Amino acid sequence: MPTASQAEALTALLDTHTPIVVLQTHEEKRVLALAEAVTRRTQRALWCWSASRGLRALQGLKLSLVDKGTGGHPGADDTLELPAALKAIARLEGPALVLLLDLHPYLSHPVTVRTLKDLALHCDSSGVQLAFVGHSVDVPDELQPWAAAFELESMTPERVRTVLKEEITRQRSRSGQDVAGCQRTLESLQRHLAGLPEAAVRHLARLALGDGQITAADLARVLAAKQAQLGAAELLVFEQDLPDMAAVAGMKALKRWLLLRREPFLEPAATGLPPPKGLLLLGVQGAGKSLAAKAVAASWQLPLFRMDFGALHDKWQGESERKLREALRTADSMQPCVLWMDEIEKGLSGGGAGEAEGSGATRRMLGTLLTWMAERRSRVFLVATANDIQSLPPELVRKGRFDEIFFVDLPDEATRAELFRIHLARLKIVCDDTGLQNLVLASVGFSGAEVEAAAVAARYEAHALGKAADAALVLAELARTKPLSVTRAEAIDALRAWAAERAVPAG
C-alpha cells in the first residue's frame, strides 16, 4: 500500500501537467499500486503497456478510443508492438496516465522517440501523461525537456517492522512454532533492511527466518546478501569475525570518544544529537589502527565494509571515479554501517612526475570523496587509517572533514603489558609476573604488531624444540628484532611532531 506522502508527491507532479514521468525501479508492483491510488483519487484513467500483454486499461474504463465509439479499450493483442500501442495512446481521451513498462530498449529508435515527443507536445490538449517504468531508463536528449524523474520512497524502519511482523507470522503459521531470537538482533536486522526495495526486504527476512530463529549468523547472511544485491561487492569487502574492543590494548581516549558517540549514531532521534560522521586514525605502522577500526564496528554492533582502493583504480578514464561513486552509493544503502578506508593515503596520494594522467584521476577521486563526506545524510561512520601524513592530500585533513583526528603512537609501558597479556593468553605461552615485567622492559619502542610477531615466533621456536613456549623464548625473539622505531626513527619523529599540534592522542 503506498504511503500518503508518496501518493501526494506523485499527484503534485502530475498536476503540473508534466508530459513524461520517469520511474527507475525494479519495484513494478509498488509503481502499479501507487498509480492506481493516485489515478483513483484524481479521477484519471490508468492504462498500462508491456511488450508481453499489450495496452490494457487498469482503471477508468469509461474512457475510450475515439475510433472505437464504445466504452472499453483497444484489444491488447493488437497493441503488443510498441508502434501500434503508441498510435492507440495518441487517440486516448484524457485525463489519463499511461504506464510504459520496460521501455528502455525502444528508446534508441528514432521513430519511437519522435512519436513519444509528439505525445509529449500534445499533453496539454489531450490530458494524457506518460510514465516510463524500468530498472534503468536513459531518457533521450530529445525528450529531456518534457520529462521529470520520480523516486519511490525507500522502505522506512516502520514499514520494515510491519513486513518483519508479517513474515514472522507467516513463518509461525508454516512451522507451527514461535520464532526464537533476542530482541537486540531483531532490531539490528530491522535497521539493516531499511532502505531496500520491499521485495528484497521480504526475501532477506525469509532468509533470516527460514530456520525458525534469528541469530547473529542470520544477520551476517542478510548483510552479505544485501551487499551482493546492491552490487559493488568487489569494491566493498564485508569484514566478518570482528574483534571486540577489549582486544584493543590502550587507546583509552579513543575508546571513551567512541563510547560517548555510540548512542547518538545508532539512535539520533532519541538523543536529539547529530550522528557523528567519522574519524581519522593516524599513526605508526603496526600500532593497532586497523584493529581499532574493526573493533568500532563490533562494539557498535554494526557491519564493517572495507573499501578496496586497489579495485577502484582503473586504466580507463573516468572509470575510477565511477567505481568510487558506486562504492559510496552502496555504503549509503548499507546504512547504518562502518566504512573503513585502510591506508587511505595509498589510494588518494597524487602521482609523481610523469604521472600526470594518473594524478588527475586521483584528484577527481579525491573530489568525489570530499563531496560525499560533506553532503552525505546517511548513517555511515567513516574510519580512515593512515601511516604517512606527508602523502595525505591537505584537503582531507583540514578541520571539519573528520569529527576527530587521533594519533596512535607506539605503546607505552602499561599498554605493552596489556598487549603481552592478550597475546600470551591467546597463544598459551606460560609467563609469570616477573617474566611479564621483563618482556615489557625488553620491548621499548616495539609496536603492537611487533609484540604479537615476537610471541608467535616464540611458539614456532618452542614447537621446533619440542617444549612449551615460555617468556624466555619471547625475550629471545625480541632481542633478535629491530623494531620500526629504530629502522624508521626519523619518519616516526616527524609524524609525532606533526601530530603534536594537529591530532588528539589516542592513548
In this structure, the answer to whether residues 78 and 17 fall within a common structural domain is yes
Where is average pLDDT lowest: 36-40, 107-111, 354-358, 493-497? 354-358
Instruction: Tell me: pLDDT of 109 over 80.
Output: yes
In this structure, the answer to whether residues 282 and 396 fall within a common structural domain is yes
Residues spanned by the domain of 26: 4-149
CATH number of the domain where residue 112 is located: 3.40.50
Spatial CA neighbour of 403 closest among 491, 269, 281: 281
State phi, psi for 409 to the nearest 5 degrees: -90, 175
Q: How confident is the model at residue 88 (pLDDT cuts 50, 70, 90)?
A: very high
Q: Which residue has the higher pLDDT, 207 or 316?
A: 207
- 309-362 pLDDT tens trace: 766 666 566 677 777 887 888 788 778 889 998 888 877 765 433 344 446 777
Domain count, the chain: 4
CATH number of the domain where residue 451 is located: 1.10.8.60
- pLDDT confidence of residue 74: 56
Report yes or no on 494 lying in a domain. no
Where is average pLDDT lowest: 142-151, 186-195, 309-318? 309-318
- pLDDT above 90 coverage of the chain, percent: 44
Report yes or no on 240 lying in a domain. no
CB burial of 271-295 (b: ≥16 within 10 Å; e: otherwise) equals: eeeebbbbbbbbbbebbbbbbbbbb
In this structure, the answer to whether residues 378 and 443 fall within a common structural domain is no
Report yes or no on 236 lying in a domain. no
Q: Which of 149, 173, 195 is the last residue of a domain?
A: 149
Report yes or no on 496 lying in a domain. no
Report yes or no on 10 lying in a domain. yes
In this structure, the answer to whether residues 222 and 138 fall within a common structural domain is no
In this structure, the answer to whether residues 181 and 282 fall within a common structural domain is no
In this structure, the answer to whether residues 334 and 445 fall within a common structural domain is no
CATH number of the domain where residue 364 is located: 3.40.50.300
Q: Which of 168, 200, 230 is the last residue of a domain?
A: 230
Report yes or no on 507 lying in a domain. no
In this structure, the answer to whether residues 165 and 220 fall within a common structural domain is yes
| HSE of 170, CA atoms in CB hemisphere, 13 A | 13
In this structure, the answer to whether residues 426 and 360 fall within a common structural domain is no
Mean pLDDT of 59-64: 52
The radius of gyration of the chain from alpha carbons, rounded to an integer in Å, stands at 30
Mean pLDDT of 153-159: 75
Report yes or no on 504 lying in a domain. no
Instruction: Tell me: pLDDT of 103 over 60.
Output: yes
Cα–Cα distance for residue pair 233/278, rounded to 1 Å: 22
In this structure, the answer to whether residues 302 and 425 fall within a common structural domain is no
- pLDDT confidence of residue 75: 60
Peptide bond into 336 cis (omega under 30): yes
Q: Would you say the pTM of this structure is higher than 0.75?
A: no
Cα–Cα distance for residue pair 314/165, rounded to 1 Å: 44
- pLDDT confidence of residue 158: 77
Coil, helix or strand for 380? strand
Mean pLDDT of 32-40: 93
Q: Which of 389, 408, 427 is the last residue of a domain?
A: 408
- 391-446 pLDDT tens trace: 888 888 877 889 999 999 999 999 999 999 999 999 999 899 999 999 999 999 99
Q: Which residue has the higher pLDDT, 353 or 453?
A: 453
Cα–Cα distance for residue pair 184/214, rounded to 1 Å: 10
In this structure, the answer to whether residues 211 and 308 fall within a common structural domain is no
In this structure, the answer to whether residues 404 and 426 fall within a common structural domain is no
- 456-497 pLDDT tens trace: 999 999 999 999 899 999 999 999 999 989 999 998 998 899
In sign, the C-alpha dihedral spanning 198, 204, 210, 212 is negative
Instruction: Tell me: pLDDT of 225 over 80.
Output: no
In this structure, the answer to whether residues 72 and 140 fall within a common structural domain is yes
Cα–Cα distance for residue pair 126/115, rounded to 1 Å: 15
Average predicted confidence (pLDDT) for the chain: 84
- The continuous run of DSSP H or E covering 341 comes out as strand 337-341
Where is average pLDDT lowest: 26-35, 65-74, 113-122, 127-136? 65-74
- pLDDT confidence of residue 157: 73
Report yes or no on 311 lying in a domain. yes
